[in-house]
């Protein structure tokens, strides 16, 4: 009877926790994005906080406040300035498309006419001689993207109060996560209804993936975007900052990367006779933008997260489609925890280390003692 009562009480507690967790998520649903980025920033800048705390021993409030001030000056304010410039350039491009100053039909025709005659005939026989369908699709995509940026800027301006509220909540929560993170993280791991070793491994994987995604993919994407923007500015392309942002976004996607931006630009420059500009774009794309990932990622990430590139690509695209920009981090995180969880389950079922020998092979004296 006591066992039955204990099971009922335990089940009731789990049900209560599930319901109250869902209720809490509904209550804070309008601030989920702010809370997520506050947690990510606190995790990413925890080493800076620890460095400041070592200088001001015991003054956790001052160290956390100075850390947030550094984040504001070094990250937030420059990001807002760049965003305003990008929106301005996007609005300018949209106006030129709408007034006909930018004509993709003319650009496609230039590329078509520059192709070899045999390839031109092949395209003509295929029904793509005028490339009307591609022209319409690209024009619509660029126009909608530029107009979306302009509408988003107007939306932020119209909802300035809500934006400032979410931003203030993010900073406020970040302060406490920085100050008390050393106590919060172990408490969360201990509270998970999992074995201690399993919970710790999942927690370590969480930290590794978040840091790898933000420090590695994020910073590398920004560097590649900056290099691409500088390259396009050197060759005289308009809206170079907008091109740089597009390259940074493309750099978040493994196996695709910035090449989907600079390769078509190089092809167009070659087709229109801008030879030295095309050579500069190609050399920069291969030797500068392309190598930035190989050089910076090992330095910034420091260790492998164990996620295949194809899974990173799929989860990143799926995450962006599901929850927007936050999906850049949440998508790969879900994939990494999925792989780690199944790996742990496999180890427990087979009594092996998924990446190494069986436990008995690793400790043969244990089997001898058992036989005796």
pLDDT tens-digit series, residues 46-64: 888 888 888 887 788 898 9
Quote the tokens at residue 65: 């406040």
pLDDT tens-digit series, residues 341-355: 888 888 888 875 544
Express as a percent the part of the chain with pLDDT over 70: 72
Q: How far apart are CA 304 and CA 329, in angstroms?
A: 16
Residue 122, pLDDT score:
67
Coil vs helix vs strand at 352:
strand
Task: Report whether pLDDT(38) > 70.
Answer: yes
Task: Report whether pLDDT(187) > 50.
Answer: yes
Residue 69, pLDDT score:
93
- The band of 11, judged by pLDDT with boundaries at 50, 70 and 90, is confident
Partners of 358 in beta bridges: 352
Chain centroid to Cα 359, Å, comes to 37
> What pTM, to 2 d.p., does this model score?
0.65
pLDDT tens-digit series, residues 218-250: 788 888 889 998 999 998 888 888 888 888 888
56-70, 127-141, 168-182, 208-222, range with the lowest pLDDT: 127-141
Residue 275, pLDDT score:
82
Task: Report whether pLDDT(161) > 90.
Answer: no
Task: Report whether pLDDT(125) > 70.
Answer: no
Residue 68, pLDDT score:
92
Contact 68, 174 (CB under 8 A): yes
187-191, 196-200, 366-370, range with the lowest pLDDT: 366-370
Task: Report whether pLDDT(265) > 80.
Answer: yes
- The band of 277, judged by pLDDT with boundaries at 50, 70 and 90, is confident
Chain centroid to Cα 251, Å, comes to 9
141-155, 186-200, 239-253, range with the lowest pLDDT: 141-155
SS3 content of the chain, % helix, strand, coil (to 5): 85, 0, 15
- The band of 70, judged by pLDDT with boundaries at 50, 70 and 90, is very high
What average pLDDT does the segment 132-153 reach? 54
């Amino acid at each position: 009877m006591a066992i039955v009562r204990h099971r009922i009480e335990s089940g009731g507690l789990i049900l209560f926790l599930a319901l109250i967790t869902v209720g809490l998520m509904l209550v804070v649903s309008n601030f989920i994005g702010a809370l997520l980025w506050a947690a990510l920033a606190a995790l990413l800048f925890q080493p800076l906080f620890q460095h400041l705390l070592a200088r001001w021993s015991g003054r956790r409030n001052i160290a956390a406040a100075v850390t947030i001030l550094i984040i504001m000056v070094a990250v937030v304010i420059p990001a807002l300035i760049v965003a305003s410039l990008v929106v301005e350039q996007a609005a300018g491009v949209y106006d030129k498309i709408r007034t006909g100053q930018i004509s993709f039909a003319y650009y496609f025709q230039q590329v078509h006419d520059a192709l070899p005659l045999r390839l031109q005939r092949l395209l003509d026989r295929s029904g793509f001689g005028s490339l009307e369908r591609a022209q319409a699709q690209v024009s619509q995509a660029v126009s909608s993207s530029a107009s979306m940026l302009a509408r988003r800027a107007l939306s932020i301006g119209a909802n300035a109060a809500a934006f400032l509220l979410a931003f203030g909540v993010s900073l406020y929560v970040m302060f406490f996560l920085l100050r008390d993170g050393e106590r919060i993280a172990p408490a969360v791991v201990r509270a998970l209804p999992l074995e201690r070793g399993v919970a710790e491994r999942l927690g370590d994987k969480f930290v590794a993936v978040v840091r790898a995604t933000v420090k590695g993919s994020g910073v590398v994407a920004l560097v590649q975007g900056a290099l691409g923007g500088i390259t396009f500015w050197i060759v005289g392309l308009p809206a170079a900052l907008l091109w740089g942002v597009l390259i940074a976004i493309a750099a978040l996607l493994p196996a695709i990367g910035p090449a989907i931006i600079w390769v078509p630009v190089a092809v167009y420059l070659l087709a229109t006779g801008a030879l030295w500009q095309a050579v500069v774009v190609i050399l920069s794309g291969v030797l500068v933008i392309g190598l930035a990932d190989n050089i910076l990622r090992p330095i910034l990430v420091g260790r492998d997260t164990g996620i295949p590139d194809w899974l990173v690509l799929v989860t990143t695209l799926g995450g962006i489609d599901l929850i927007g920009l936050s999906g850049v981090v949440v998508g790969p995180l879900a994939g990494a925890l999925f792989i780690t969880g199944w790996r742990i389950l496999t180890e427990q079922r087979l009594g092996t280390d998924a990446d190494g020998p069986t436990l008995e092979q690793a400790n043969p004296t244990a089997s001898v003692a058992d036989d005796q």
